[in-house]
Structure 1
């Protein structure tokens, strides 16, 4: 049977690998040869699980959304990653990676961030563990995610602006990789999504897999079965989605729906819908689907959401798309914003705009009354309140 997990060479089908400059080879090779042994050692697992429970607040609830279910005529459960410490799923991965970095003897942490949630989660665990932290963030994102920038600085991190290109997530990642090349010995790069050279996509997916691990147990209790009919998650790089799908990847009876940002529309030139617009290419040391011009130059992505405007997608998701295992749906800014407001008014939960894209699928795709649909509510909307205020003219 075909598996949708990574193979021994770091590939998901044709996607993945480690296309790295020679300067980074020792770092990446050190990770590749040691990550599984460290991650699954007894002492690592004990410390990781204890921190997830006592510091992050796991397990997060699987909440039956009664009014939303009535509105859309099916059984909708929300996996409440917005209730994690720091307000999103990102901290599951940063806890794991900082423990890994300490085992490897690293003394300094760098990260990239778009919406700022991964930056906050990285700054949080660096404060927890007493390690210096530098977060790279696009200049555009620094302006539109000011609350998260303030949180990072409050936590003791240095926030460095990326001022090249579109000055968003792609460019912040470029700057972080440059830093890592210049500081290869003492620095660990905590990548925030299932992107980058192998073993990062697999490593991040495994840390985030606590999400689907919990869904199995919680659905068994709520519905008498561990598997839903459908899983829905938003996808930029795709870490919350990878964590949601992980334990169900090789169960073909479970439908997987990945939701991308169409921005102002797929054909407008202002979009981040990689599945619709991407071609095979290499970005940030991984072979994947990538928005690019005829001569291979990266196309600047756009989304109202700072966490989804990435020109590529993680190799796991590229394989899920090309193999047909997952259904990819593109959602515009307007559709996402309306879905976010609807969730607030029906369930009293204001989601991150990234997450709102996942909820917009409910308007586009019908489900049957008996079908169980689990949506990853990947982050809360505090950081996006100004965008909501401006969009809906709430002042």
Structure 2
């Protein structure tokens, strides 16, 4: 089974580039150049230098001893929360900003939900002295205020999306509209979503997570492969990065965790794999939540980074082929998991990452089992939400 896209950007039936004619030159330019740029010595030297000396990679692989004792397995946390800017998003923005500069782009636009991608984009634009505009849902602007302040401090212009649920989907819609009107800009997409080549490009840039994981596991356990990898999935970039170098190792169980919100069938959920059907969203064919008329159903999650009505085409393919096991966690379960990690290991996770932790009690773990949970971000941005639920 092949887990890389074909020449037209398809993973099985999922992927492709469903774009307005006005955007075709932009997407085609990127498609024609991204692999050559990424594989060039010049790019690799600059990328690795920035990851090491600016981002702070490799991120640690931490043995969570108390968590391991509770759940009866050997549980490691891949500490993407310790990256500069506080999440995995910087891996992708560093790479894409280098690509944008190679393509002589001077103006960058981005979408953001939890704000971590917006902060990471604003950060690299400040670093490279490029103009930056970030689109963010009005609802998310309110609940992720610290990240909005960080983006503005870094020099980015933050434009609120006021349509629909005023969250990530709507921010993406606005970014694409702006891109159509200003085709000279570079759209720095934050996840493994959008038209080809974005899903493949972002997955390749996030693959540094699993690349490091192999080396670190070998050092700590004597073997490169864990038994299980767990990661949360909205669009799915942190999961794509954590899974990437293990996709063809069938002995490694891959678990993708979606946000169930108030319950999968409550009408307030973002569990795309359970509720979605095949359709097209934001330029690619994938699985998305839609009604009988093909209209997108508004997603919901307590975590701003997971309330997306679709999933990246790679993940749609992993779900269809059953290469990855898709699970979900409710708001309540994620909050409980976040407090558990905080009080047992002294690590405050992002609400998104807490969803991955929340499935540990649902698994039949064995003593010799090696589990890696990708801790995709830190919880500073979610403190206001956490403090409302201190009873946990």
Q: Do both share a fold (TM > 0.5)?
A: yes
Residue number in structure 2 paired with 1:268? 266
Unmatched 5+ stretches in structure 1: none
Residue number in structure 2 paired with 1:40? 39
Unmatched 5+ stretches in structure 2: none
Residue number in structure 2 paired with 1:232? 230
Structure 2 residue matching 1:232: 3-state secondary structure: strand
Residue number in structure 1 paired with 2:110? 111
Structure 1 residue matching 2:260: 3-state secondary structure: strand
- Superposed CA deviations along residues 150-196 of structure 1, whole A, max 9, x for unmatched, are 000000000000000110000000000011111112x1000000000
| Aligned-residue offset at 1:232 | 0.3
**Using the alignment, how far apart are the partners of 1:351 and 1:195 within structure 2?**
24
Residue number in structure 2 paired with 1:162? 161
Equivalent pair of 1:69/1:75 in contact (CA under 8 Å): yes
Residue number in structure 2 paired with 1:133? 132
Residue number in structure 2 paired with 1:291? 289
- Superposed CA deviations along residues 240-294 of structure 1, whole A, max 9, x for unmatched, are 0000000001111100000000000011100000000000000000000000001
Residue number in structure 2 paired with 1:71? 70
| Aligned-residue offset at 1:393 | 5.6
Residue number in structure 2 paired with 1:184? 183
Structure 2 residue matching 1:48: 3-state secondary structure: helix
Residue number in structure 2 paired with 1:93? 92
Equivalent pair of 1:66/1:76 in contact (CA under 8 Å): yes
**Using the alignment, how far apart are the partners of 1:82 and 1:188 within structure 2?**
27
**Using the alignment, how far apart are the partners of 2:307 and 2:390 within structure 1?**
21
**Using the alignment, how far apart are the partners of 1:37 and 1:163 within structure 2?**
38
Q: Count the aligned residue pairs.
A: 392
Name which of 342, 345, 357 aligns with 2:343: 345
TM-score, normalised by the number of residues in structure 1: 0.99
Does 1:371 find its partner at 2:346?
Answer: no
- Superposed CA deviations along residues 183-210 of structure 1, whole A, max 9, x for unmatched, are 112x100000000000000000000000
| Aligned-residue offset at 1:8 | 2.0
**Using the alignment, how far apart are the partners of 1:231 and 1:256 within structure 2?**
5
Residue number in structure 2 paired with 1:362? 360
**Using the alignment, how far apart are the partners of 1:284 and 1:164 within structure 2?**
15
- Superposed CA deviations along residues 345-391 of structure 1, whole A, max 9, x for unmatched, are 00000000000000001011121110100000000000000000012
Residue number in structure 2 paired with 1:80? 79
| Aligned-residue offset at 1:3 | 1.5
TM-score, normalised by the number of residues in structure 2: 0.99
**Using the alignment, how far apart are the partners of 2:191 and 2:62 within structure 1?**
25
**Using the alignment, how far apart are the partners of 2:317 and 2:23 within structure 1?**
26
Decide whether aligned partners of structure 1 residues 393 and 68 sit closer, same or farther in structure 2, where only a CA change above 3 A counts: closer
Residue number in structure 1 paired with 2:53? 54
Alignment of 1:147-226 (within 5 A): 147-185=146-184, 187-226=185-224
**Using the alignment, how far apart are the partners of 1:22 and 1:393 within structure 2?**
53
Equivalent pair of 1:5/1:249 in contact (CA under 8 Å): no
**Using the alignment, how far apart are the partners of 1:72 and 1:123 within structure 2?**
39
Structure 2 residue matching 1:339: 3-state secondary structure: helix
- Superposed CA deviations along residues 13-71 of structure 1, whole A, max 9, x for unmatched, are 11000000000000000000100001110011000000000000000000010000000
**Using the alignment, how far apart are the partners of 1:131 and 1:393 within structure 2?**
44
Residue number in structure 2 paired with 1:241? 239
Structure 1 residue matching 2:205: 3-state secondary structure: helix
**Using the alignment, how far apart are the partners of 2:148 and 2:256 within structure 1?**
28
**Using the alignment, how far apart are the partners of 1:100 and 1:299 within structure 2?**
34
Does 1:381 find its partner at 2:379?
Answer: yes
* Stretches of 4+ aligned residues off by more than 4 angstroms: none
Does 1:30 find its partner at 2:29?
Answer: yes
**Range moving further from structure 2, 55-64 or 7-16:** 7-16
Residue number in structure 2 paired with 1:333? 331
Equivalent pair of 1:208/1:242 in contact (CA under 8 Å): yes
